[in-house]
Amino acid sequence: MPKPFYITTPIYYVNDKPHIGHAYTTISADMISRFHKLAGRDTFFLTGTDEHGNKVAEAAAKANLSEIEFCDKTVATFQNAWNNLTIENDYFIRTTSDRHKKAVWKILDAMREAKTDDGEDVVYSDYYEGLYCTGCEKFITEKELVDGLCPDHKVKPELLKEKNYFFRLTSFLPKIKELIESDELEILPEERKREVLGLIGQDLNDFSLSRERVKWGVPLSFDKSQVAYVWVDALSNYISAIGYGDDDESFKKWWTNGEVVHLMAKDILKFHCLFWPAMLLAAGEKLPKTLFLHGFFTVDGEKMSKSLGNMIDPNEVVENFGADGTRYLLLTQFPFGVDGDVQAKRFITQYNSDLANDLGNLVSRVVKMVLSNFDGKLPQPKKEIDGLEELLKATEEMPNAAYTHVKHFQLSKAIEEAMGLVKTTNKFFNDKAPWKLGKEGKFDEMGGILYACCEVIRIVSIVLSPIMPTKMREIRAIFNLDDSSLNLDQANTFFVLEPGITLNFNDSIFPRLSEKDLAKKEDTKSTEDDNLIDFDQFGKVELKVAEVLEAEKVEGADRLLKLQIAIGDDKRQIIAGVAEFYPPEKIKGMKIAVVANLKPAKIRGVESHGMLLAAKKGKKLTLMTVDGDIPSGAKIS
């Protein structure tokens, strides 16, 4: 019985919305998780968001929101993107949750109580002076600078001096080196392992465990004047999500007794391959089995950046190619793990070639021939067909070969196994030409060929389900199969489909796409986008509670009321078109919702400084009012 399998993505920082890089890692982890579940392995898949640190606090202030309001809104964009991509995570961790905070306190306390082999405290207090890059959320050295600037964020770091608590990383490096060299702590691909071992030989220093000047974070359990360093906070998510600190049984199952795999991009190598193992050793916890650090990718040959305008929103790719098409295209651009180039301009060509022509066309041709020649009933199998034995052999080998590739993180090779069988089956179908056999009245042989092709399609739909879950469900529905048939054992067995079942087929699984099709979608989207505002724009709108002090009709305007309102201590006048629904005596004394930061304007020659909120349907209008216990001036969020 294999160990429980626990796979994680990094948690994504909420100072910006999700992009295709986040999607690539998450889809990859989702595919791996689904494959293990397909094989019947007990599996847990974690993703989530990193919500503390100065960058978040600054972004929230810029949006005129509190930190948690900003986090809530940005987290929703990640959750929405993962829903659009049919990501099937078992838990979504947020570092602002109480559960996570308790786990951070627990590991900090465990590290503080720990001693090195020399009897020194693992955690100690000292002053630190150095260059700090807010964009990186870390101290950096002079030699890391390029022309005096942070190489990643192109800004000059600030010189900071503050009292911190430090973690004695240097005491754990010899042990970590030993574990990496022996592959007890497996770091993949091999070049990443060499890179980590190279880092260990570069005179690394102890790292700061806390920050005195940062306020948005988890306060230390033993010193509330400091908050946990954002990386100490973030790395702890891998254990907080599975019960460290609140569910010992779950934690032992997934962490202590499980096979733990951390999946991420290579830019966060040092923190995951050195800081995290050292923290776990100090806390007396088992290390993960594998850390897989995939490469970076460019977009059409250029590095992704906001300034170049090539930051691809995964939601937009989904709009064009569907969730399953997007997942397939991203996972097949280049071998998993290496640096590569996402050629968005080739998406249509690849989609049409692989999905519409190869897979979609195979399904359509085979099923339509059953519908037209066998009254929609699956014909009887026939084993004595030239070339069938070779097709059966290829089919029997494919599922386990694909799963083996997944277990070795060769994701594109796993997909190639299934798509290679699709090509083989298309060749078998064309070589056997069942349409000619039908004309010759050889329906037994024709039916045997179609049955064999249907079986291959069924098996392919199982193996490709971790990559394209929705479309493969549609394919299985043709054969009246639901998710109960979705397991690798069913893929390793031929002649499962029952002859005589009625096939159900209405439309192409993967209709061909053209540039014109995408242009139409873009035109529609542009029209819709005219009515949308950006998150930053919405964040500038200031909604507050106001109390109506006085109300009177505007002379010569039957529908307008002139209201004197109080927004806390701020008294002002607004003009509102609600007179036919709210006479002055009715609205006076009400607490209403208003937009408080509009520039003053004149309506019918009368100054108005603000706008009230109301809901209208047909001839009915209702003001947005606020409960009497909420004071005027209170912020609405």
The 3-class SS string of 200-217 reads HCCCCCCEECEECCCCCC
CB atoms within 10 A of CB 536: 11
- Tell me which of 56-70, 276-290, 592-606 is least confident: 592-606
Q: Which of 3, 102, 136, 413 is catalytic?
A: 136
Closest to 24 (Cα-Cα) out of 333, 463, 350: 333
Is residue 294 within 8 Å of residue 337, measured between CB atoms?
yes
Q: What is the DSSP letter of 117?
A: T
Can you tell me the mean pLDDT for 161-174?
92
Whether 19 sits among the annotated catalytic residues: the reply is yes
Q: Which of 22, 73, 101, 106 is catalytic?
A: 22
- Tell me which of 127-136, 154-163, 549-558 is least confident: 127-136
Q: Which long-range contacts (CB under 8 A, 24 or more apart) does 611-620 make?
A: 611/574, 611/576, 612/546, 612/563, 612/574, 612/576, 612/578, 613/543, 614/578, 620/581
- pLDDT value at residue 309: 65
| 344-540 belongs to CATH 1.10.730.10 | yes
Whether 71 sits among the annotated catalytic residues: the reply is no
The one-letter amino acid at 438? G
Q: Which of 19, 253, 405, 591 is catalytic?
A: 19
CA-based end-to-end distance of the chain: 51
- pLDDT value at residue 532: 59
Whether 133 sits among the annotated catalytic residues: the reply is yes
d(CA 222, CA 107): 12
d(CA 303, CA 497): 48
The one-letter amino acid at 413? K
pLDDT band at residue 530 using 50, 70 and 90 as cut-offs: low
Can you tell me the mean pLDDT for 199-225?
91
pLDDT digits (tens, 9 = 90+) for 451-475: 999 999 999 999 999 999 999 999 9
Mean pLDDT value across the chain: 91
The yes-or-no verdict on residue 526 having pLDDT over 60 is: no
Can you tell me the mean pLDDT for 479-496?
93
The yes-or-no verdict on residue 161 having pLDDT over 90 is: no
- pLDDT value at residue 533: 56
Q: Which of 17, 71, 101, 133 is catalytic?
A: 133
Whether 454 sits among the annotated catalytic residues: the reply is no
Whether 136 sits among the annotated catalytic residues: the reply is yes
| Cα-trace Rg, the chain | 30
Q: State the SS3 of 220-284.
A: CCCCCCCEECHHHHHHCHHHHCCCCCCCHHHHHHHHHCCEEEEEEEHHHHHHHHHHHHHHHHHHC
- Tell me which of 20-24, 338-342, 497-501 is least confident: 338-342
pLDDT digits (tens, 9 = 90+) for 216-258: 999 998 999 999 999 999 999 999 999 999 999 999 999 999 9
- pLDDT value at residue 581: 86
Residue limits of CATH 2.40.50.140 in the chain:
542-636
Q: Which of 303, 393, 586, 635 is catalytic?
A: 303
pLDDT band at residue 580 using 50, 70 and 90 as cut-offs: confident
Whether 408 sits among the annotated catalytic residues: the reply is no
d(CA 76, CA 535): 12
d(CA 218, CA 104): 8
pLDDT digits (tens, 9 = 90+) for 131-151: 878 777 667 777 788 888 988
Q: Which of 62, 115, 153, 427 is catalytic?
A: 153
Can you tell me the mean pLDDT for 616-626?
80
- pLDDT value at residue 100: 97
Percent of the chain beyond pLDDT 90? 68
Question: In sequence order, what are the beta bridge partners of 265?
Answer: 294
Burial class of residue 268, CB neighbours in 10 A (0-12, 13-18, 19+): middle
Whether 150 sits among the annotated catalytic residues: the reply is yes
What is the per-residue burial (b if ≥16 Cβ within 10 Å, else e) of 315-332? bebbbbbbbbbbbbbbbb
- pLDDT value at residue 128: 75
Decide: helix, strand or coil at residue 165: strand
How open is the CA angle 493-496-499, to the nearest 5 degrees? 155
- pLDDT value at residue 514: 86
Backbone phi, psi, residue 299, to 5°? -115, 115
pLDDT band at residue 342 using 50, 70 and 90 as cut-offs: confident
What is the per-residue burial (b if ≥16 Cβ within 10 Å, else e) of 23-41? bbbbbbbbbbbbbbbbbeb
Residue 7 region by backbone torsions, left for phi larger than 0, else alpha for psi between -120 and 50, else beta: beta
Closest to 360 (Cα-Cα) out of 447, 459, 413, 426: 426
Q: Which of 224, 306, 516, 617 is catalytic?
A: 306
d(CA 295, CA 189): 9
pLDDT band at residue 556 using 50, 70 and 90 as cut-offs: low
Is residue 382 within 8 Å of residue 451, measured between CB atoms?
yes
Residue limits of CATH 1.10.730.10 in the chain:
344-540
pLDDT band at residue 341 using 50, 70 and 90 as cut-offs: confident
pLDDT band at residue 286 using 50, 70 and 90 as cut-offs: very high
Burial class of residue 120, CB neighbours in 10 A (0-12, 13-18, 19+): exposed
Decide: helix, strand or coil at residue 300: coil
- pLDDT value at residue 17: 86
pLDDT band at residue 417 using 50, 70 and 90 as cut-offs: very high
**Alpha helix stretches (DSSP H) within 48-132:** 54-62, 67-84, 98-113
Fold of 542-636: OB fold (Dihydrolipoamide Acetyltransferase, E2P) (2.40.50)
The one-letter amino acid at 478? I
pLDDT band at residue 598 using 50, 70 and 90 as cut-offs: confident
Tell the CATH superfamily of the 5-294 domain. HUPs (3.40.50.620)
The yes-or-no verdict on residue 16 having pLDDT over 90 is: no
The one-letter amino acid at 330? L
The yes-or-no verdict on residue 429 having pLDDT over 70 is: yes
Can you tell me the mean pLDDT for 366-382?
96
- pLDDT value at residue 201: 85
* DSSP count for the chain of H helices, then E strands: 23, 26
- pLDDT value at residue 529: 53
Whether 303 sits among the annotated catalytic residues: the reply is yes
What tokens were used for 64? 């005129």
d(CA 624, CA 612): 8
Q: Which of 36, 55, 138, 150 is catalytic?
A: 150
